[in-house]
Amino acid sequence: MTVSLSPITEQFGAVVSGVDLGRPLTPDEVAAIDSGMDQYAVLVFNGQDLTDEQQVAFSKNFGEMENKTGGNIRTEERVNQHINDVSNLDNNNKPFDRNDRRRFFNLGNHLWHSDSSFRATPAKYSLLSARSIPSEGGNTEFADMRQAYDALDDKTKAKIEGLVCEHSQIYSRGKLGFTFNEEEIGLMKPVRQAFVRVHPKSGRKSLYLSSHAGRVLGWPDPEARLFLLNLLEHGTQRQFVYAHKWQLHDLVMWDNRQTMHRARDFDETQKRDMRRTTVAGEAMTVEQAAA
Ligand code: OGA
Ligand code: MN
């Protein structure tokens, strides 16, 4: 079998075939996937019925696993220690009640974001595996922040060059009225991120937006928030978006440095068991002074 890619749009997203992610990959297969990520930023693999261990082993081809400490309010685990549980299920595999705080936290994933932009060194790749899906809805949408950057006018490009934002889950979840206790706040101190990122291989620039962004350094807060909202609207126009309709055992892999994503609505009395592995980033986007 050889890895082959069929592009979803010319620049953004591709479906990968000819590879079984449940077994060790050859260096050529890893290289083909890596270069596909550089080019398309989102890759879809169908029919990959993986265990947590197989998902972790596949993910490790692309770097170290991110340490998930401080990423979620959930304390007990339903899944492997390297997996982020983004399901709607409690430890008895039952959908959360409507008023469950863990459900409220997960609703934050329905806001456009880039994974772990609230960490000093934010995530490189995320890999999401569909172990159980609802009968309808629950798509994941991806927005191409490279095309979004390219489409900005020169004045805006000049304005954002060199700007730094503060990101924290307090800002993102706060938008939904979610509140954290003191211990959680201690784990969610804002970090600094560049507004514009440059891809290390392609050299392409992208808008580094995320719901976690709450402030622009040196700017008054209302002006910063309005600016971020306007750019969010710009960057998520339909021509920049790929909506993934899940099939059971799909695995979708995306580059958080070049994209945003969000979950869409579904009937939450049904099970949606999605499990994410996260490949750690290789560098901070700006130096971290005391944010
Ligand atoms: C994630 C995420 C969206 C979804 O796993 O990081 O945001 O559709 N998931 O579950
Ligand atoms: Mn996410």
Using most ligand atoms within 8 A of CB, pick from 83, 96, 109, 127 the residue to mutate for ligand 1: 109
Query: What pLDDT shows up at residue 73?
Result: 87
Ligand nearest to the CA of 88: 1
Query: What pLDDT shows up at residue 74?
Result: 84
With a cut of 60, say whether residue 60 has pLDDT above it.
yes
Query: What is the number of other CB atoms lying within 10 angstroms of the CB of residue 147?
Result: 22
Ligand nearest to the CA of 109: 1
With a cut of 50, say whether residue 177 has pLDDT above it.
yes
Q: What percent of the chain has pLDDT over 70?
A: 99
Give burial (CB, 10 Å; 0-12/13-18/19+) of 68. Answer: middle
The pTM score is: 0.97
With a cut of 90, say whether residue 69 has pLDDT above it.
no
Mean pLDDT of all residues in 206-227: 98
Mean pLDDT of all residues in 42-65: 98
Going from the C-alpha of 154 to that of each of 3, 25, 157, 289, the distances in angstroms are 39, 43, 5, 30
| Token pair 């695995």 in the structure block, residue | 251
Residue 2 DSSP code: -
Q: Quickly state the pLDDT bin for 77 (edges 50, 70, 90).
A: confident
Ligand nearest to the CA of 266: 1
Query: What pLDDT shows up at residue 68?
Result: 87
The torsion angles phi and psi of 48, rounded to 5 degrees, stand at -115, 90
d(CA 219, CA 249): 45
With a cut of 60, say whether residue 191 has pLDDT above it.
yes
State the distance from the centre of ligand 1 to the C-alpha of 120, rounded, in angstroms: 20
Q: What is the pLDDT of residues 249-266, one digit of tens each?
A: 999 999 999 999 999 999
Using most ligand atoms within 8 A of CB, pick from 83, 88, 140, 271 the residue to mutate for ligand 1: 140
Query: What pLDDT shows up at residue 290?
Result: 53
Query: What is the number of other CB atoms lying within 10 angstroms of the CB of residue 109?
Result: 19
Using most ligand atoms within 8 A of CB, pick from 142, 172, 262, 278 the residue to mutate for ligand 1: 262
Query: What pLDDT shows up at residue 132?
Result: 98
Q: What is the pLDDT of residues 130-161, one digit of tens each?
A: 999 999 999 999 999 999 999 999 999 999 99
Q: What is the pLDDT of residues 107-116, one digit of tens each?
A: 999 999 999 9
